[in-house]
Chain A
């Protein structure tokens, strides 16, 4: 019950610590030349991605309380701890597995845009539904941060979330936030810095409970892929996409471009 309070305290401590201070943030607006890292903001619709984007870049993406407000990709820059970041605000998406056109932009960027860190913004009051996308993203990347937004609404609804447990379950940093009140930005930036520079190593959760029939098929195919492409890290995920008939992956494979996937997968560990 008191996790949120506990974390409030953590946040306060953080404000006082020398390195991770919001004062080290310089908003760069649309100026993002010579960036060191690319950060993507992904998540379900209406979870506050654009609000966080505006907070960090000083830009003025439209926000609104309805799913689907952002329909195009937006980019901006900021400097934090002497690193230049390019931040990409994506349209909200419920899933990476669909082929729906409106979600193409987000899907393509997460898969092929090679972000160095993906910030997954979730609505803390609808955690279970949001975890669908989170678990899917964790299948492809191991550099992710969970921004647990809308904590004020969680409190208003008399709910609480065990942050430590959640971080343990997912294997990535979890940051409680109230983006509209600009709360939690420090800690988010701290983790962006640590994860992008490799100081913090994520151990993202991978799906365990596939049905036996599917598991067998995925394993067989993934073994076959591994034989021919020993350097491809997350072959299980590629196998799953092939079994779904995902044309982008089939094309990438046929044209030999599958290597393009490697950078964004380069740190992924193969769960056996």
Chain B
């Protein structure tokens, strides 16, 4: 093998002679050629109208007076449309899958004489979990993703980043973190990967660690349902949708604020540093092709997300049924845990059921709500509602659910804290794995995993005690 050290040595000497302006100088040369080529080939008509359309929209979307209100209204609108629009289809799907298909399956199972165990695991565990997830996930996703994709194709996201940059700069972070957060509303794992657009490693880590504060689609069902029960139901019926949306938007906003606050704190502590450079190309506005977008976002995104939820729900359903049905001395595993965890849960304004649900839901946030409801039924030993231990029951009326939850000892505090805890807890396992892949660091993965969890416990603890001290 030849040795080329004389080449590299000579190169090093030459580098000293040329100095550090080499790169500048090369790019300068390239651009001067680019300019020459372009002036030989591109013809711009003297008509000054080009780009004026974009400029006009930009003036409005980035104006001091309207920039933030528009951003806020759009966010609220997206949530409101999603919540209101998915209400009816959700109950329709629930009715179909739970009220009709489930009994039918049970009938078949008893006809062919499946054993209690197999029947329980497959139909009362896996199938019900899956049915539940489809009912609560499909409609909101089918509405959210197309709207979001339309905004994305139009070119609005870079403007959000442009507008929010000054906040991120003050937090020591990068304006493109806003883009990763927007991706995070769809899925945190996608948001974490999107953080690659940030050049500075420190700021990229900030974006990765705080992405969990973007309320991902898996957590919406929890937010929407709990907000409907505890907030939507206390206002007059016409405003229920609006109040629910407002509550969910409030939590989402809290998430945005927290990611700024946490970025700031980290920038002052373990990820010390000032905000570095920010450069972002603002693309032209492109009128989206609406039908094409609707179609592709439905096929590519919604079904993809739904598929993932189902894949996680099936085994989770089995686990839920098992912990609820494996008894030791007449008491199920679930009850052991819940009794044991209840004091801690109550201390932070939640309860043992919720804690167990969050443990079972580590693989995917989507299954929190089904688990919570099922376990509540079981521990409250409600007769007549739900179909016995380990069976997730149908949610065809909000009132039923309310009754169940109240019988399980739920108060408004539990509702509020569940919404907070749903925002502030460890990322799902897929996201944790993605964070590890992106950072290649156990330390930062651990920080990203436990920081929100600790915050969740702290915030819930404080809220619980303030609430109890006041009331």
Contact = CB atoms under 8 A, between A and B. Distances in A.
Asked if chains A and B are in direct contact (CB within 8 A), the reply is: yes
Interface stretch (B6-14, B259-267, B328-336, B381-389): B6-14
Interface string B14-31: 110110001101111111
Contact of A166 (B11, B41, B44, B194): B41
Given A64-B152, A68-B194, A157-B51, A243 B35 contact: no
Contacts, number: 178
B14 A243 contact: yes
B1 to A, nearest CB: 5
17 contacts: A65-B157, A68-B176, A68-B179, A97-B27, A127-B38, A128-B38, A135-B33, A157-B44, A165-B41, A166-B37, A169-B41, A210-B25, A210-B26, A211-B28, A213-B18, A228-B7, A244-B26
B37 A158 contact: no
Contacts of A214: 18, 22, 25-26, 29
Contacts of B158: 65-67
A158 B50 contact: yes
Contacts of A211: 25, 28-29
A19 interface: no
A91 B196 CA distance: 10
Interface string A71-112: 110000000000000000001000101001110000000000
B114 interface: no
B455 interface: no
B359 interface: no
Interface in B222-236: none
| Most chain B CB atoms below 10 A, which of A45, A68, A225 | A68
B154 A65 contact: yes
A214 B300 CA distance: 50
B18 A102 contact: no
Interface stretch (B75-83, B281-289, B368-376): B281-289
A166 B299 CA distance: 40
B152 A66 contact: yes
Contacts of A221: 7, 10-11, 14
Nearest to A225: B7
A240 interface: yes
A159 B42 contact: yes
B153 interface: yes
A250 B285 CA distance: 43
A32 interface: no
A115 B154 CA distance: 33
A6 to B, nearest CB: 14
Contacts of B459: none
B407 interface: no
Nearest 6 A-B pairs (CB), nearest first? A131-B34, A68-B197, A157-B50, A128-B38, A242-B11, A158-B45
A242 B149 CA distance: 44
A176 B32 CA distance: 24
Interface in B126-155: 149, 152-155
A246 to B, nearest CB: 10
A228 B4 contact: yes
Interface residues of B, number: 65
A127 B42 CA distance: 8
Question: Which bracket fits the contact residues of A?
Answer: 35 or more
B49 interface: yes
A209 interface: yes
B339 interface: no
Nearest to A217: B14
B280 A224 contact: no
A128 B29 contact: no
A91 B43 CA distance: 29
A5 B210 CA distance: 50
Interface string B273-285: 0000000110111
B283 A65 contact: yes
B411 interface: no
A62 interface: yes
| Most chain B CB atoms below 10 A, which of A45, A131, A160, A161 | A131
B33 A46 contact: no
B40 interface: yes
Nearest to B47: A158
B40 to A, nearest CB: 6
Nearest to A211: B25
Contacts of B283: 46, 65-67
A1 B43 contact: yes
Given A211-B29, A221-B11, A242-B8, A65 B286 contact: yes
A127 B33 CA distance: 12
A9 interface: no
Given A128-B35, A228-B2, A102 B22 contact: no
B109 to A, nearest CB: 38
| Most chain A CB atoms below 10 A, which of B7, B179, B283, B284 | B7
B240 interface: no
A41 B33 CA distance: 23
Contacts of A243: 11, 14-15, 18, 22
Contacts of B176: 68
Contacts of B47: 158
A63 to B, nearest CB: 8
Contacts of A209: 29, 32-33
B15 A161 contact: no
B30 to A, nearest CB: 5
A67 B30 contact: no
B375 to A, nearest CB: 37
